[in-house]
Amino acid sequence: MLPVNIKERIDRYVQQGVPLGGFLSAVLANDLFAAVTKADDDNLLNLESIVRYVYDVSPSTCHGTYAAIAKWLKLLAKYGNDLNDVPMSER
């Protein structure tokens, strides 16, 4: 089951460019080792649902590597949360 606080943090990152903590950064960067070692007991138990949520609802350009996360944060800082304003060449 996806914890509500984790869903809200992911949504704020995707929609508003709010930086993530160590555990969620590792999850979004596909860094399994770091995600598992940084997870608390609840997040470890819910890791599969967290990963599925990211995969199902997040734009593919906002996750996958730490570089993709940094690029996403820069895009939202530059263009705000209206992704329609982001040129396709920068996504």
**Do 40 and 6 form a contact (C-beta atoms < 8 A)?**
no
Segments making up each domain of the chain, as ranges: 4-84
Give the other-Cβ count within 10 Å of 14's Cβ. 20
With helix as H, strand as E and coil as C, how does the chain read? CCCHHHHHHHHHHHHHCCCCCHHHHHHHCCCHHHHHHHCCHHHHHCHHHHHHHHHHHCCHHHCCCHHHHHHHHHHHHHHCCCHHHCCHHHC
Q: pTM here?
A: 0.90
User: Going residue by residue through the chain (91 aa), what tens digit of pLDDT does each one get?
Assistant: 999 999 999 999 999 999 999 999 999 999 999 999 999 999 999 999 999 999 999 999 999 999 999 999 999 998 887 777 777 777 6
